[in-house]
Structure 1
Amino acid sequence: MKPTYIRKRKRPSGSGLWPTYQLETDAFGTWFYTPAHSLYRGNNGETCEVAQLGPGEPGEHSVHLAPHDGWWFAYFRRSGLLHVDVSTPPALVGSEWTFEDLELDPFRRADGTIGTEDWDELAAAHAAGLITDAERKAAENAAHTLEHHFVAAVEPFGRVGWDRLAESIDLGLPPLTDFGDRPLD
């Protein structure tokens, strides 16, 4: 299976890039799988293992979902953490799936705790003119909707994402560590 790439952009500049296996597109969106110990590269060229940053285990297996039309990008991590970047709608740009981070990070931890981080970062980015009024409203709506979906176990946040993760791990695909000729940013 040939890898594809995901680029998370930050405003006003910066990005992160990681290789992943594109699985399939279904009613929820396009699914990706990144095996444990795959690498993530920042726009400064430094690398770390995907899913190493933030809560959870270093270098975890992770399944990602780019929805058809949502303002978010989801990560289902083997540790049981469901993390979502509220973002511009993910899109295939050239040969990379790309989205722009709009700061808010809804989550559901393995212990069932649900919340959203970084409301202060959204406010600061909006005040600095990095996020428009329309984007701020879309981000706030997305975060509230996602939290509700987590509580109610609305699919794909009930079993679908976790089943997809288990099926992907069973594929036994090797970690992805090559960025090819992808630019830093």
Structure 2
Amino acid sequence: MTPTYIRKRKRPRGSGLWPAYLLDTDAFGTWFYTPTRSLFRADDGEFCEMAQLGPGGPGEHCVQLAPHDGWWFAYFRQSGLLHVDVSTTPALVGAEWTFDDLELDPFRQPDGTIGTEDWEELAESHAAGLISDAERDAAEDAARGLERDFAAGVEPFGQVGWERLAAAVALGLPPLTEFGDRPLD
């Protein structure tokens, strides 16, 4: 399998980039897999492991989902953490999947705790003119909708994402650590 690349952009500048295996596209969107020990590169050239369990690593197996038209990008992590970046709709731009982070981070922890982090960051970015009124409203709606879907077990957040993760891990694919000539930002 040839890897693709995913770029998460921050406003007003900055990004992170990681390689991922393209798994499939289905009714939910496009699925990617990043094996444990795969690298994430920040826009300053620093590296860390993708899907870290804590600062400094280690990373863990992670399946990601770019929805067809949702304002989010989801991460299903082997530890059982479901984390979502509320964002502009992910899109394939050239040879990279790209989205702009809109600050909010809904989650469901392995113990079932559901919440959303970074409401203050959204308010600050909106006040600074980095996020428009329409984007702020869409981000808030997405976060609240995702929390409801997590609580109700609406797919792909019920079993589908976790089944995708188990199947991806079973492939035994090597970690992704090469970035080729991809620019920092």
**Length-normalised TM-score, structure 2:** 0.98
Question: Which ranges of 4 or more aligned residues in structure 1 deviate by more than 2 Å?
Answer: none
The residue correspondences of 1:1-185 to structure 2 (distance < 5 A) are 1-52=1-52, 58-185=58-185
- Displacement of 1:52 after TM fit? 1.5
Cα distance in 1 for partners of 2:28, 2:128 equals 33
The residue type equivalent to 1:162 in the other structure is W
The residue type equivalent to 2:22 in the other structure is Q
SS of the aligned residue for 2:112 comes to coil
Cα distance in 1 for partners of 2:119, 2:53 equals 19
SS of the aligned residue for 1:184 comes to coil
Q: How many percent of aligned residue pairs carry the same amino acid?
A: 78
The residue type equivalent to 1:115 in the other structure is G
SS of the aligned residue for 1:5 comes to strand
SS of the aligned residue for 1:167 comes to helix
Cα distance in 2 for partners of 1:15, 1:129 equals 19
**Length-normalised TM-score, structure 1:** 0.98
Q: Deviation digits for residues 20-59 of structure 1, max 9, x if unmatched?
A: 000010000000000000000000000000012658x721
The residue type equivalent to 1:132 in the other structure is S
Q: What 5-or-longer segments of structure 1 have no aligned partner? A: none
Cα distance in 1 for partners of 2:142, 2:53 equals 23
Relative distance call for 1:61 and 1:9 in structure 2 (3 A) is same
SS of the aligned residue for 1:183 comes to coil
Cα distance in 2 for partners of 1:102, 1:16 equals 14
Cα distance in 1 for partners of 2:53, 2:152 equals 27
Cα distance in 1 for partners of 2:54, 2:71 equals 21
* Contact 2:53–2:60 under 8 Å retained in 1: no
Cα distance in 1 for partners of 2:116, 2:58 equals 22
